Amino acid sequence: MTLPGVVHETEPFFLEGSTGPLYACLHAPVGPSVGRAWVVAPPYGHESLQFHRALRLLADLLADAGCPVLRFDYHGTGDSSGDARGALLDRWFTDTAEMIDELRRRTGVADVGLIGLRLGGAVATRVAAARPDVVRLVLWDPVFDGRAHLAELRALHETMLGYAHVIPDATGSRDEVLGYPLTPALAADIEGIDVVRNITSRPADHVLLVETHEGVPQEPLRRHLGSFRCQLANARLSTPQLWEWVEDFGRVHVPRKVLDAIVRWAGEGASRGLAPGSVPGA
Amino acid sequence: MREEAVRFGSLGCTVGVVTDAVLGGGARADLVRDDTVPLAAAPPERPAFLFLNAGVTHHVGPNELYVKLARALAREGFPSLRFDYSGLGDSGRRADAMPAVESVALETREAMDFLQKSRGVRSFVPIGICSGAINAFTAARSDPRVVGAVLVNAQMHLHGPDPALAEALHARAMSRHAWRIALKSSFRSKNWKKALGGKLTPGRIASMLVGGPVRAVAGRLKGGGGGDGPPAPDPRALLRELSDRGVHLYHLYCEGDEGLDYFHTVLGKGVDEVARGERSTYEVIAGANHVFTLLWSQDELVKRVCAWAATLPRPAPAGATA
């Protein structure tokens, strides 16, 4: 459906997921579908806010290329039900898997891939590894080492405390990082992320690894993914300004060259006019 | 908690989330819609809050504050709609090239129209942080359905459209900000430690403490507000006009925010008298920054907005005569 006088409309809805109502936005393809669809697994915390605009634009570009796209918020985040203090990775795996099924149900497209950014990359990798029906996976600076990710977040938080106009709570006991809760349970979940150790089978047939964060080299993950018999593509597009915490929410970066690289790869081998349910190359 | 994802507006592309008031919420449960009654038959008597985009942040608000506020207000018996203006967040982009100032005004009105039609709500309280506060103030001045407005860290909203005056006021406010943060704020010891520890360069310190006053004086010499621009409105008169119309205004600032200095600069010494008049509230959250980064400050914001909302008078029932 295309609304007259509107560019890039979306269809928002709540999915009654098993963790509770989940907020999602469906981007319908512009013109005929290419028979390939994508679910976006978002990052958490301040990154979810900083990258919302970029992921929205990515969805628009993929829709322009004929791909339906579903963006959503995990349980306890964004508009979805639950409180961030109850956020847990296991719930997010469930949410992501249910979004894949929902996108299939709504579009009739069988070929559904996953795009995961940062913590969403860890979520997407595990979901893809558990679901043979996910054959395409885009990992954008994914968190593959949870301990390192936590250390990075806590260092950024300390830096923020040093220069922002904030006075920490007198009790000093709050579990938080850059505006978002980091409960002991969620911290333990994140700490347990070790993709190199825990993902022991090919997560998808086709994988694109996008590296823009020089502070978090993806070499170990690249080597690990390379050990599987999958078609691994690599896009290194250093964009350091993406990874600075910004207090001023008017200064959100949208890395167009990164988005274009993902859209190019995501559309490879697909062509418009494929019937719903068909899988190119299958 | 019942929330609904909606799409509305004349183009059908404005996306938002309605949070309905919780049954039994608030001190007066009789004000709250019963979930078992059709919405159109049982409109809430309390006003609905409209959350307006803060900068380019989508409708969840900075640090998802709009979601937290919406759910807390729902528990107090207030429905709300958080939505994205066209071209922002999850909304579509208009193809008609309407200027932003016009589309923002139009889409704010359409948000009220939507809630009026779908929920039977007759009065509204726009709320926004930063630029959202400016849009909330504009809506309060232009739409008679607005009975209150929450302006969080608002600035540049009380002096009219003269760009030269805006520039001069900004310079004066920034100068006041630098001196206040350095000498009077909760952050002063932290900032001096930073300066003594070499984390602030001499150039940066000079820019903050000296550059501001220089720019302020330059702005005055250039005749900010006295040039060819439209005559500057009296900010006190603007606030009085709203109060006389029965609109309740809540100016809430973070101690670390520059908007607080704008507020004092534009209102002068009478800020307390003006801002704490009838139907007008002005508060400062000490130790908090522009976007409420720390969780305690988020909780404090939610607590204060809910407390202020509880003071709003109940509108007359539909059909009642004055």
The pLDDT score that the predictor gives to residue A2 is 66
Report residues of chain A scoring pLDDT below 50. Answer: 274-282
B192: left (phi over 0), alpha (psi -120 to 50) or beta: alpha
Check whether B66 has a pLDDT greater than 70.
Answer: yes
Count of pairs with CB atoms under 8 A, one residue in A, one in B: 147
Q: What per-residue string of b and e applies to B163-174 under the rule 16 or more CB within 10 Å gives b?
A: ebbbbbbbbbbb
- Closest CA of chain A from B86, distance in Å: 9
Do A9 and B13 touch, CB atoms closer than 8 A? Answer: yes
Task: Quote the CA–CA distance of B108 and B138 in Å, as a whole number.
Answer: 10
ipTM, two decimals, is 0.93
Task: Spell out which residues of chain B touch residue A250, defining contact as CB-CB under 8 Å.
Answer: 55-56, 131
Rounded to 10 degrees, the C-alpha dihedral B292/B296/B299/B303 comes to -100
Maximum distance among all Cα pairs of chain B, rounded to whole angstroms: 67
**pTM for the model:** 0.91
Q: Which residue, among B160, B181, B150, has the nearest Cα to B304 in the 3D structure?
A: B150
Task: Spell out which residues of chain A touch residue B288, defining contact as CB-CB under 8 Å.
Answer: 165-167
Q: Residue B229 — pLDDT band, cuts 50, 70, 90?
A: low
The pLDDT score that the predictor gives to residue B33 is 37
The pLDDT score that the predictor gives to residue A186 is 95
pLDDT in tens, B232-260: 778 888 998 999 999 999 999 999 999 99
Do A10 and B92 touch, CB atoms closer than 8 A? Answer: yes
Do B123 and B49 touch, CB atoms closer than 8 A? Answer: no
Task: Spell out which residues of chain B touch residue A79, defining contact as CB-CB under 8 Å.
Answer: 3, 5, 17, 59-60, 67
pLDDT in tens, B210-221: 666 666 555 554
Cβ neighbourhood burial of B39 (10 Å; 0-12, 13-18, 19+) = middle
Do A29 and A67 touch, CB atoms closer than 8 A? Answer: yes
Q: Parse chain A into domains and list their residue ranges.
A: 11-266
- Tell me which DSSP letter residue B37 carries: S
CATH architecture of A11-266: 3-Layer(aba) Sandwich (3.40)
Task: Quote the CA–CA distance of B238 and B159 in Å, as a whole number.
Answer: 9
**Tokens describing residue B80:** 């709300």
- Closest CA of chain B from A234, distance in Å: 29
- Mean pLDDT for B77-100 is 94
The pLDDT score that the predictor gives to residue A267 is 87
Three-class SS state of B57: coil
Q: Residue B31 — pLDDT band, cuts 50, 70, 90?
A: very low
Output the CA angle A49-A51-A55, nearest 5 degrees: 125
Task: Quote the CA–CA distance of A242 and A51 in Å, as a whole number.
Answer: 9
Q: Which residue, among B213, B65, B215, has the nearest Cα to B132 in the 3D structure?
A: B65
Of B56, B57, B293, the CB nearest to A160: B293
pLDDT in tens, B260-307: 999 999 998 778 877 778 899 999 999 999 999 999 999 999 999 999
Q: If DSSP states are collapsed to H, E and C, what string results for B273-303?
A: HHHCCCCEEEEEECCCCCCCCCHHHHHHHHH
The pLDDT score that the predictor gives to residue A140 is 97
Three-class SS state of A86: helix
Task: Quote the CA–CA distance of B151 and B275 in Å, as a whole number.
Answer: 12
Q: Which residue has the tokens 């819609």?
A: B33
Task: Quote the CA–CA distance of A27 and B125 in Å, as a whole number.
Answer: 31
Q: Which of A18-27, B2-11, B37-46 has the lowest mean pLDDT?
A: B37-46
Mutate: best of A246, A249, A251, A254, partner B, most B CBs <10 A: A249
Alpha helices in chain B (DSSP H): 65-75, 100-119, 131-142, 163-183, 188-196, 202-206, 212-221, 235-244, 258-267, 271-275, 295-310
Contact A49 B64 (CB under 8 A): yes
pLDDT in tens, B160-191: 888 889 999 999 999 999 999 988 899 888 87
Q: Residue B225 — pLDDT band, cuts 50, 70, 90?
A: very low
pLDDT in tens, A82-104: 988 888 899 999 999 999 999 99
The pLDDT score that the predictor gives to residue B58 is 97
CB atoms within 10 A of CB B29: 12
**Distance from the first to the final alpha carbon of chain A:** 28
**B3-158+234-310 CATH:** 3.40.50.1820
Pairing of strands A206-211, A136-140: parallel
Q: Which residue has the tokens 């984390």?
A: B199
Task: Spell out which residues of chain A touch residue B199, defining contact as CB-CB under 8 Å.
Answer: 162-163
The pLDDT score that the predictor gives to residue A273 is 54
- Of all residues in chain B, the percent with pLDDT exceeding 70 is 80
Residue of A nearest to B185 (CA): A165
Output the CA angle A168-B295-A187, nearest 5 degrees: 100
Q: Parse chain B into domains and list their residue ranges.
A: 3-158+234-310, 163-221
